Amino acid sequence: MGRAQGDRPPYGLDTFNCPTYRGQTGWMADQYAQSREDNRPTEIPAIRWDEPPEGPVLVLLDQTRLPAEEVELVCTDAPALVAAIRSLAVRGAPLLGIAGAYGVALAAARGFDVDEAAVALAQARPTAVNLAVGVRRAREAYRAELARGGDRDRAAIAALVAARALHREDAEASARMAVHGLALLDELLPGGGHRVLTHCNTGSLVSGGEGTAFAVALAAHRAGRLRRLWVDETRPLLQGARLTAYEAARSGMAYTLLTDNAAGSLFAAGEVDAVLIGADRIAADGSVANKVGSYPLAVLARYHHVPFIVVAPVTTVDPDTPDGASIEVEQRAGHEVTEIAAPQVPVAGVEAGGGIPVAPLGTQAYNPAFDVTPPELVTAIVTEAGVVSPVTAEALAELCDRSRQVTI
């Protein structure tokens, strides 16, 4: 399964199988647990390349409008895509990498300055390393074709081929992560009936396939081994409530939504068997940057002897970032905390695009988009190339080297 060498995971497998205290949430956790035919979370792909008569475009499923409505957003140039990335119309580490690659291809196909577009795209979300990886891959393909003597049209085609290859590879990686992740869950928690807590959104809305952490939960559901998916609402932008619940419902999964600060009571009641999250950047030492609120879950999981599992493609591992302190954490606008913003549909009495104030005018807000979980709190990192557990710099580097050799 690709586990790094070592006799056992950092806490010992036996600590994950202690008797479960069935508190007041126990009945609710089983009430709607059922299997039914799975559906794709959405009929509209999260991202697609299109070539209408007026010229190539990149079409996105606008995630700011979910779950109220499924609306596509059409980007005709890199600045439009940068705006979509910053507004979170398109989001999630793997999908940002795909979007970045397509953005370079779009600039090339429409005759814009490719280097200028690449710089703007790579800087749109600084914490998500996949974005820069995707941009670099398409730009290198573009430059390589020019260096071989090809004209700009052929170079643009090369960039598009690179973007499509990355898109396909991400879908394949998603499927392999689901296999590795489910095998790990079954190893740590024999017998099935998994009750999994997740944070933010990690499904097909962030991937060329079925996602990262969510793909593992979905695999458990399809195998009849998921009893309950606990979904953190994920403040302040509610990606869990708006997006993960949306995907879970459309996949027929047994799920329950909770406020972020209710997670502790679930752990205390013995209702969480594992935590599954994604990642926006994994440092060389195994530190994991993910949506803010992930680190408190890791602390809770450690205290309650619950496995804390990170699921991400190898492209999310950044060997050039030595440790967690070196990860640049994006700071977002304060109004995301001082206002409540509904999906962008008309609401009586609310200005279009605005939010409902919940704090006094002029209140300052602390609003980091991510927090960083140190490797000693991470039970395992699941990638398409295998599983690293215990999480160490050496084991992570070995897995990445092995992955690169397979790719070559």
Burial bucket for residue 165 (CB in 10 Å: 0-12, 13-18, 19+): middle
Q: Is-contact 120 107, C-beta < 8 A?
A: no
Q: Which amino acid is at 90?
A: V
The CA distance from 232 to 291, in Å, is 11
Catalytic: 14? no
Q: Which amino acid is at 24?
A: Q
Q: CA distances (Å), 296 to each of 74, 186, 196, in order?
A: 37, 25, 16
Three-state helix/strand/coil letters over 266-313: HHHCCCCCEEEECCCEEECCCCEEEECCHHHHHHHHHHCCCCEEEECC
DSSP 31: H
CA distance 146 to 169: 25
**Which SS3 state, helix, strand or coil, does residue 388 take?**
strand
The closest of 267, 278, 9, 23 to 170, measured between CA atoms, is: 278
Neighbours of 224 (CB within 10 A): 12
Spell out the SS3 assignment of 99-123.
Answer: HHHHHHHHHHHCCCCHHHHHHHHHC
Cα gap 325→315, rounded to integer Å: 20
The pair of three-digit structure tokens given for residue 211, joined into one six-digit string: 């996602």
Q: Are 104 and 142 contacting, i.e. CB atoms less than 8 angstroms apart?
A: yes
> Among residues 155, 178, 82, which one has the least CA distance to residue 121?
82
Which residue is catalytic, options 62, 260, 273, 280? 280
**DSSP characters over 42-57:** -SS-SEEEE--TT--E
For residue 84 the two structure tokens come to: 């979509």
The token duo for 374 is 């140190």
Active centre residues (catalytic):
280
